[in-house]
Amino acid sequence: MIPLRVRLFADGAVKAQILELYANPCIRGFTTNPTLMRKAGVTDYEAFARDILEVITDRPVSIEVLSDDFAEMERQAHKIASWGDNVYVKIPVTNTRQQDSYGLIRRLTRDGIKLNVTALLTLDQVHCVVQALAGGAPASISIFAGRIADTAVDPVPVMTAALEIMRSYPQLELIWASPRELLNIFQADAIGCHIITVTPDILNKLHLVGKNLGEYSLETVKMFYNDAQLSGFVL
């Protein structure tokens, strides 16, 4: 694989996959969220997180609060942070009523809690979150570039502008979140993004980097032909 400056963080909630990826030195950290845990069948949020953190102690692990109430988010953030020095507490940029989390972020970072502020999609949000995190503990800002792309907007200029906003704050790192394809890793690397979260599906495509496109075309044709034969299709 081509050497990258951007750090790869594995995104998921399947314990076996997480531990397998932990053995890969290319994976520099881990992120998860309640949606991924629900899809993976996790039933005890705290037990799952603590189980992972017993093994992974030397790389960042981001774990999200569960509440929609800021006071309860604050309590949960302190609890989650106590689970390990490598824990980054994920705080959504707003609650479900679209009330911003900037005050909470400011209090938590000044309490020394490492944060991963998540679900950002606009540069206005980036400006406000950076100001809330200024002067605080190390933190990450997760912009959901894949969701930006889903709206037919090119995320690259947005991510580039976000890096410029963050430039004067060396304790802050930008995460390219929700990538949709392998190319996104190289786009993130090209603009100097610090971190990109990657799912196992995308990681499994890394062997395709540099693959001869003529060979890939032939493999595709063979796949269609073989599936037609195996299905017994006739005309």
Q: How confident is the model at residue 6 (pLDDT cuts 50, 70, 90)?
A: very high
Contact status, residue 7 vs residue 193, Cβ threshold 8 Å = no
- Residue pLDDT, tens place only, 177-226: 999 999 999 999 999 999 999 999 999 999 999 999 999 999 999 999 99
Evaluate the CA torsion angle 83, 87, 88, 92 in order and state its sign. negative
Contact status, residue 143 vs residue 163, Cβ threshold 8 Å = no
- Residue pLDDT, tens place only, 9-20: 999 999 999 999
Structural domain spans, the chain: 7-208
Query: How far, in Å, CA of 25 to CA of 68, rounded?
Result: 36
What's this model's pTM, rounded to 2 decimal places?
A: 0.95
- Residue pLDDT, tens place only, 38-83: 999 999 999 999 999 999 999 999 999 999 999 999 999 999 999 9
- Rounded to the nearest 5 degrees, what angle is found at the Cα of 13, between the Cα atoms of 11 and 15? 115
Q: In the chain, where do the E strands start and end?
A: 7-11, 27-31, 61-64, 87-92, 115-120, 139-144, 172-177, 195-198
* Mean pLDDT (whole number) for 109-128: 98
* Mean pLDDT (whole number) for 156-167: 98
- Count Cβ atoms below 10 Å from residue 51 Cβ, excluding itself: 14
For 7-208, CATH number? 3.20.20.70
Query: How far, in Å, CA of 51 to CA of 45, rounded?
Result: 10
Residue 23: pLDDT over 90: yes
Average pLDDT over the chain, rounded to an integer: 97
**Looking at residue 3, what is its pLDDT?**
85
